[in-house]
A and B are shown apart, each in its own frame.
Chain A
Amino acid sequence: MQFSTLILVLLCFMVLAYYLGRRRSLNLVSGRVRDLHSLPSYYGMQTALWCGIPALLLFVIWVSFEGAVMTGLVVEGLPSEIQNLPVERLNLVLNDIRNLAQGNIVSRTVDETMQKASDHYASLKKISHTALFVATLALATMGGLWARQSITHDQRARNRVEKAINFFLVSSSSLAVFTTIGIVLSVLFEAIRFFQQIPITAFIFGLEWSPQTAIRADQVGSSGVFGAIPLFAGTFLITLIAMVVAVPIGLMSAIYMAEYASKKFRDLAKPILEVLAGIPTVVYGFFAALTVAPFFRDMGASLGLSVSSESALAAGVVMGIMIIPFVSSLSDDVINAVPQSMRDGSYGLGATRSETIRQVIMPAALPGIVGGVLLAVSRAIGETMIVVMAAGLSANLTANPLEAVTTVTVQIVTLLVGDQEFDSAKTLAAFALALVLFVITLALNMIALYIVRKYREQYE
């Protein structure tokens, strides 16, 4: 029996319970809703919740422990020489038994013991599923009937349903929080494994990055040096270029949109500008790699400069273009949040528009704009697709935007793309890089949010 069927049946039970509970509450007071403590629908919902939630909980608990219990039972049934195998080997055998039971490909010849174990496993599974099905539906029926039976005219069903809703909302939001914590922890633990192999000082202060580790002793060109400074230098160089492009253009277009443009033009131009934000980054990536980079290289050549065809400049400029709408819409919001009375006060003293913007609106909006720019910076630092396509792979430690540099995100991608063993320093380095990147963007976001929030209080 499929789990999805079970869930569907359970949902039908809940709907049924809703109507039963609702009808019972109405019957109790012979249809006079006024005599009930809560509206009939609340009694219905209460019954449905009693029907559904215990059964669902049972289902979840059953499914999460089923695997462990069944494995234990199968292992018990195996001959003792297999039982005494080391854990990894035993796991391989169990895997094969499971695969055999499900009709998948098996990595060894099937002997009698295997076949027996597999049949044992399949029958256990069948029993377990049937029992689960019966137990869940029985619990649902019992819960629903009990809740229906316990309805009285002065039962506080509304309060209970509200409490249940509150609980659902809290658990949904904590799910997001716990996921974040889970991601952070998994990155953290892998990073710690990396730092057990490579000293943390060598990682943070090292000037050379060359992650190819030798598999055999006689391999050449595989030094395995993990100095992250060139990567972060490259990241910051590209981010800086992106900001040099995005901040002035974004800010000025925001000022134009907020202060100068007529309503008609604004309604037309703002969505068009925001289309820039909707272009997939992969499109920006090949735009950078195939159009902008060759353009810069040819232009550099005609000026007598040698520009790498994967220059930091091309990646940075395109990333800046991508971020323009980000900066402009955040700044636009902030500028619009400056009260009209400030503008009136300034115009009333005979200030022109640009004087008002420079001397009243900008100082008032500056904290918010700084916050917006910091958010844009953290976005640029974490941006991956453009730099994967347009920035280079060689970890040059340079401040020259015409040369190729690489970024943290590019290196993470190249370290983890393809088949990798997950215990080498090379792959674990990706987690260490991700951890540092995460810390940096988190710090930037927190500073930005702090500034933005502080600014918001000013006019309330």
Chain B
Amino acid sequence: MEEIVNQNGAVTEQLDAATDAEIDMRLVRENHRSETVGEMTVDDPRMICRNVDVYYGDKQAIFNVSLDIGKNQVIAMIGPSGCGKSTFLRCLNRMNDTIDICRVTGVIKMDNQDIYDSRLDVVSLRASVGMVFQKPNPFPKSIFDNVAYGPRIHGLSDSDTHLNEIIERSLHKAGLWDEVKDRLDQPGTGLSGGQQQRLCIARAIAVSPEVILMDEPCSALDPIATAKIEELIDELRENYTIAIVTHSMQQAARVSQRTAYFHLGKLIEVGETDQIFTAPRHKLTEDYITGRFG
């Protein structure tokens, strides 16, 4: 088996060549090593993360996180502020690359392709792993141009009619079409907060990603707008894999199938959402979800 030297000096076998059986073997070992409680793996993963460490300069923000993200599932990441859940999420489409001092080690694979491989084009990765941010951030352009931004830079449409189709479909999927179909040429910044966030979701959907990462997408929204987004997340699950970071445990319970609890940069527990919220196995998880801490 070919071996590569990781940035942090640890020797890791390249997963490319590994068979399923070998991955399982590795997991046994890693389970032993990491403190994570629960089922890190799923039967049908879209993304596989192994031994992920993240450093900001000298400071380590994520410690040895291994986690699978299942196909057409919603996985919620919860935990107190500063626990690294957003940092981990941003590793999944290499958004951390935009921070100079940030360094990621370990293996993150998507459909058997290491996304931190130097040969991989980060542009195509981000086209297939879309992201929705905490604060709605529509571009100061028209609603149409906001959604058309991704398809245009990736050359996804052959003609104007095709582009129009993509826009309409994306806005439909984001549940925004009926509200904006008569004013597509107006600025996206003029919409309400909830509409802006759905516009950002439509913008992400327009490039046909496989995975959508959401970093506290409802934290800047009112309860009604939040309910709409949660409904939308549930619908999107049919076609997309979704990883969502949230501060609201109710939200995690409502929208997700699996839940991962982070604490001080470590993945403490991961499992079926029902199980995490009804019968947490780790003391820290229990303290957090019962509100004794955090």
Residues of A within 8 A of B (CB): 262-263, 339, 341-352, 355, 359-360, 363-364, 458
Residues of B within 8 A of A (CB): 93, 95, 98, 100, 122-127, 130-131, 133, 135, 137-141, 149-150, 153-154, 189, 200, 203-204, 207
The answer to whether A345 and B153 touch (CB under 8 A), given A350-B126, A350-B127, A352-B123, is no
A262, A344, A345, A360 — most chain B CB neighbours (10 Å): A345
The answer to whether A341 and B133 touch (CB under 8 A), given A350-B124, A350-B126, A458-B140, is yes
Is A346 a contact partner of B93 (Cβ separation < 8 A)? no
The chain A residue sitting closest to B203, CB to CB, is A349
CB distance from B202 to the nearest CB of A (A): 12
Is A350 a contact partner of B95 (Cβ separation < 8 A)? no
The chain A residue sitting closest to B126, CB to CB, is A350
Is B100 a contact partner of A350 (Cβ separation < 8 A)? no
Please, which residues of chain A bring their CB within 8 A of the CB of B154?
A: 350
Further 19 A-B residue pairs, CB within 8 A, beyond A262-B100, A342-B140? A263-B100, A341-B135, A342-B137, A343-B98, A344-B137, A345-B137, A346-B139, A346-B149, A347-B95, A348-B93, A349-B126, A349-B203, A350-B124, A350-B127, A350-B150, A352-B153, A359-B149, A359-B153, A360-B149
The answer to whether A363 and B131 touch (CB under 8 A), given A349-B149, A350-B154, is no
Is B140 a contact partner of A363 (Cβ separation < 8 A)? yes
Is B207 a contact partner of A341 (Cβ separation < 8 A)? no
Please, which residues of chain B bring their CB within 8 A of the CB of A339?
A: 137
CA distance A346 to B124 in the complex (A): 13
Please, which residues of chain A bring their CB within 8 A of the CB of B153?
A: 349-352, 355, 359
Is A348 a contact partner of B95 (Cβ separation < 8 A)? yes
CB distance from B90 to the nearest CB of A (A): 9
CB distance from B275 to the nearest CB of A (A): 32
CB-based A-B contact count at 8 angstroms? 69
The 4 closest A-B pairs by CB, nearest first: A350-B126, A348-B131, A341-B137, A350-B127
A339, A347, A363 — most chain B CB neighbours (10 Å): A347
Is A345 a contact partner of B200 (Cβ separation < 8 A)? yes
Please, which residues of chain B bring their CB within 8 A of the CB of A352?
A: 123, 153
CB distance from A460 to the nearest CB of B (A): 12
CB distance from B85 to the nearest CB of A (A): 17
CB distance from A264 to the nearest CB of B (A): 9
The chain A residue sitting closest to B146, CB to CB, is A345
The answer to whether A347 and B126 touch (CB under 8 A), given A263-B100, A355-B153, A363-B140, is yes
CB distance from A63 to the nearest CB of B (A): 59
CA distance A346 to B141 in the complex (A): 12
CB distance from A185 to the nearest CB of B (A): 43
Is A342 a contact partner of B207 (Cβ separation < 8 A)? no
B122, B125, B140, B150 — most chain A CB neighbours (10 Å): B140
Is B98 a contact partner of A344 (Cβ separation < 8 A)? yes
CB distance from B213 to the nearest CB of A (A): 8
The answer to whether A350 and B207 touch (CB under 8 A), given A344-B98, A345-B133, is yes
CB distance from A269 to the nearest CB of B (A): 16
Please, which residues of chain B bring their CB within 8 A of the CB of A343?
A: 98
Please, which residues of chain B bring their CB within 8 A of the CB of A345?
A: 133, 137-139, 200, 203
Please, which residues of chain A bring their CB within 8 A of the CB of B122?
A: 350
CB distance from A339 to the nearest CB of B (A): 7
CB distance from A14 to the nearest CB of B (A): 54
The answer to whether A350 and B123 touch (CB under 8 A), given A345-B137, A345-B200, A363-B140, is yes
Is B204 a contact partner of A349 (Cβ separation < 8 A)? yes
**Sampled A-B contacts (11; CB under 8 Å):** A263-B100, A339-B137, A341-B137, A348-B130, A349-B150, A349-B203, A350-B125, A352-B153, A359-B149, A359-B153, A363-B141
A347 in complex: contacting residue of B98, B139, B141, B203, CB < 8 Å: B98
CB distance from A207 to the nearest CB of B (A): 46
The answer to whether A342 and B139 touch (CB under 8 A), given A348-B93, A350-B150, is yes
CA distance A197 to B175 in the complex (A): 74
CA distance A349 to B140 in the complex (A): 16
The chain A residue sitting closest to B136, CB to CB, is A341
CA distance A352 to B98 in the complex (A): 11
CA distance A263 to B57 in the complex (A): 14
CB distance from A334 to the nearest CB of B (A): 13
The chain B residue sitting closest to A352, CB to CB, is B123
Please, which residues of chain A bring their CB within 8 A of the CB of B150?
A: 349-350
CA distance A342 to B123 in the complex (A): 17
CB distance from B137 to the nearest CB of A (A): 4
CA distance A263 to B99 in the complex (A): 11
CA distance A262 to B100 in the complex (A): 8
CB distance from B205 to the nearest CB of A (A): 11
Is B95 a contact partner of A349 (Cβ separation < 8 A)? no
CA distance A280 to B140 in the complex (A): 40
CB distance from A2 to the nearest CB of B (A): 63
CB distance from A398 to the nearest CB of B (A): 43
The chain A residue sitting closest to B123, CB to CB, is A350
CA distance A178 to B138 in the complex (A): 46
CA distance A247 to B262 in the complex (A): 49
